[in-house]
Every structure is written in C-alpha cells, then in structure tokens.
Amino acid sequence: MMKGAKPNVVEAIGGTPIVKLNSLANEVDSDIYVKLEFMNPGGSTKDRIGAYMLDQAVKEGDLKPGGTIIEGTSGNTGVGLAMWAAVHKYKCIFVLADKQSQEKIDNLRAFGAKVVVCPTNVEPDDPRSYYSVSKRLAETIPNSFYVNQYDNIHNRNTHYNWTAPEMYEQTSGDFDVFMAGVGTGGTITGCGKYFKEKMPNVEIVGIDCEGSIIAHYKKTGEICEAKSYVLEGVGEDFIPGNYDFDVIDDFEVVGDKESFLMTRRLLKEEGIYAGGSAGAAICGALKYAKKQKTKKKILILLHDSGNRYASKIYNDDWMSDNGYLDASFNVQIKDVLNDIGKKGSIFTINDTSTIGQAIDIMDTNGVSQLPVINSAQEIVGLVAEKNLVKPVLMGEFAKDDNISLASTSKFQIVDQNELLETVAEALLKKEVALITENGKLKDILTEIDVLQYFSKKGNI
C-alpha cells in the first residue's frame, strides 16, 4: 500500500485540529479554543461513534454478516454508521424527525440507506416518534441490529477511549474548562469522565437548548415538560442512558435564535463553517466566560459541518421567514431616522384626489411615496411612484382617475419607538413602513433608508 495512505475512509476518522477563536472571543477575558470535529471524513464527530459502536457490535456478535443496521438519528450519526456500513458491506435503515434539514436526509439516501421520516412534536413513547419507529423496525426486520445511540454505552465509551485522549494529547491537558453541546450524552459524559480522571480540577460544562429537559434535570432532579425547539443535535425530551451527571459540573442554556446568529458569525468572523450546535456551543461558552472572575482556557467540541444546514441557517430567506434576524435590527426606528438625517416632513394625499394630483405632488416635492388619508386623517393606502409608471404608460390609469385605484395596502404602520426588527420582514419584502409619533404620521421608512443606516454604522 502507498506510504502514508489509509486502508479505507473509516481509518481516516479522528485527528481533527484544535484552533483558537480570535474575533468572537474578544468580548471576554478567557481564551476559547475549538476542536473542529466537522473535519472528520463524514463531516461530524458522530463518525467516531458510528465506527466504534459498530466495531463493538461485530465483536460482541450483535451485528452479523449480511445484517441491517437500524438507527434513529438526527442525521450525523446516520452518516457515521452509513460510512462504516459502505466499507464493510452492510445495509442501513435510518429514522429521522421531520425537523432535520433536507441535506441530512439527502446525504443518508446518497449512501444507499433507506430513510424514514417521523413527526417531531410527539412524545418519545408515541408510536409515531422516531425512537418508537426505530425500535419497531428492529423488532420486525430479520437479522437487524438496532444501534440505539441513546442507551448504547459504547457511545460514551467512544469518547472516553478515543476523542478525549486525543484532545488531552493535543493540548497536554492545558485547559481549565471543557464544553460541548448535549444530546445523547455520549460526548459530554465520555470526555468528562476521562478529563476528570486526568485533571481533577477541570470543569465540565454542557450546552443545552431552551425547550430541552437535560439541564433542568441536572439542576433539580426532576423531569420537566419538554417544549419544541429548532436546533438540531442538541437537547432531548427524555434522559438517555449514556448520561452520567456526576461528571458534568454545570450547564449553560441557549436559544435557537442566538445560536443560529452565532453560527453565521462563526463563519463570517472566524472562517469556521460549522452547524447550528456549534453556534449554540459558542453562545454558551461566552455566557460562561462572562461569569468567571479569573481568566480561563476553555476548550469546546464543535460537532458538525455547516454544509448540512445550507438550506436553513445559511439561507437568508429561511432565516428571515423564521424570524431569526440579526441583532443589528434591535435599534429604535426613531434612532434610524435621526442617524440618516430624516427631518420628519411627510407629504400626504386625500383619498378623493386624482392620480394626476399625486404625480404633481411627487414631482413638486421630490418624493416617491404618498400615504393616502381619508377625511378622518386615517391612513387608508399608499401610492408609490414605482407602482404608477407602468399603468400610466400602458394607459390603464388616466390622470383624472381617483387615487384609490393606484393605492396599495402593502405597508406597515408602526410607532417610532418600536424596534427596527418589527418592520424588518416588511422591508425585506420591499414594502414601506409608515412611522407614527403619538399616533400621528411622522415619516416613511424604506429599505433604502435601512441600507443607508447600516452603511453609516459600518455594517455593510
């Protein structure tokens, strides 16, 4: 065999680098380092448990030649299992919840695996859940092996015997805190157990998400009601068997929106193309670091690649449609108007006026939009220059036609004290925001105004 070559792709798993964060860590005193597990050949840290669990299943006689591998997965473990199965010639069936990205589903099918998609918002013991469906398939398909990463202790053994020793060797144990997103419990428990044995003073901190029950259970010993969340690969609505809470010192809990925005910042500011759980982990690490009284070295494991989320977190339309807007929109509208020098002078037109009169007002005063008001001074419409040009040229409208024929309802009325975020979606759709002060019309805000504001602030 060629010198330096690996015998197959499974043997290429591991050896992922650790790098220091620079820009994102500027707001804290602590140093933050991240292990880039998405540089595994299958794109995530789950390559490790996929190979390790199946190797053990073969050794223990649970997975037999010609067998079918069955697993409920959020996608990444499935890829790790499918990659091992392709090399060793096994069949796979994977069961996913419908909140998982299409990229994950497509990746698994590309390996030749069969994929079953189940509803997300059902209880774990519901027969429709991906946990229940996975078990049922394993019970009914001959010569099959249900991996069950949640309760399969070889999950956490993977990280105790492989991932953690690798990080310890890379760093010589020169860190104070280890942090990772929690899901099945394998990573945080396996790594935590190993590090505690080697470094008695190390702190092990899990990153959980709002809606999950894991952090709450650690702090109270009680199982609370789980709520829905969008983050993939983080959090659970039950307590998997892989957890050993004795090796976890604390938790930080983060939300969907802040995690997704941080994921995008991680790429833009650090050049690290990782998944949503990475953004969650960075958010948690920054929250934790801000609480510390002394400088710490924090090591974080980043689970998977950003290419699994191209249609979601890295898609502007998806982010906008789901309300995950940049914090730059958290500024009052009146501040935006002041910063760009708008004077608060606005021209209107009565709803009894004609299109010709509207054109004259626009031409005389150099404006391109006119709110239409009725006799009670209520805003009943908006006429815009861009909406007049084609109909007038085509002869659809005459100059003496009533202005109501050319007015549109595509505008939003909002008080100047509201946040820009409240009208962001309308502006992204190239609609207009009519700004009021104490109920009286004050100004018009357009997408060009917002671009001008961000340009002055140096955001573009």
- Which amino acids are annotated catalytic? 46
Of residues 278, 281, 276, 286, the one with CA closest to residue 324:
276
Distance from chain centroid for Cα 163 = 25
Of residues 382, 391, 358, the one with CA closest to residue 446:
382
Residues in the chain: 460
Q: What Å distances lie between residue 187 and 166, 206, 424, CA to CA?
A: 13, 10, 39
Pairing state of beta strands 31-36 and 297-302?
A: parallel
How many Å apart are CA 70 and CA 77, to the nearest integer?
11
How many Å apart are CA 42 and CA 16, to the nearest integer?
12
How many Å apart are CA 71 and CA 82, to the nearest integer?
10
How many Å apart are CA 118 and CA 235, to the nearest integer?
18
- Any bridge partners for residue 20, and if so which? 33
Write the DSSP string, 15-48: ---EEE--SGGGGSSSEEEEEEGGGSTTSBTHHH
- Any bridge partners for residue 383, and if so which? 370
**DSSP H helical ranges for 118-204:** 130-140, 154-158, 164-171, 186-198
For the record, the structure tokens of 252 come out as 């930080």
How many Å apart are CA 232 and CA 241, to the nearest integer?
20
Please report, as a single letter, which amino acid is at residue 305. Answer: S
Rounded to the nearest 5 degrees, what angle is found at the Cα of 102, between the Cα atoms of 97 and 108?
80
Say which DSSP state 62 is in: S
For the record, the structure tokens of 267 come out as 């790429």
Write the DSSP string, 326-384: -GGG-SBHHHHHHHTT-------EETTSBHHHHHHHHHHHT-SEEEEE-TT--EEEEEE
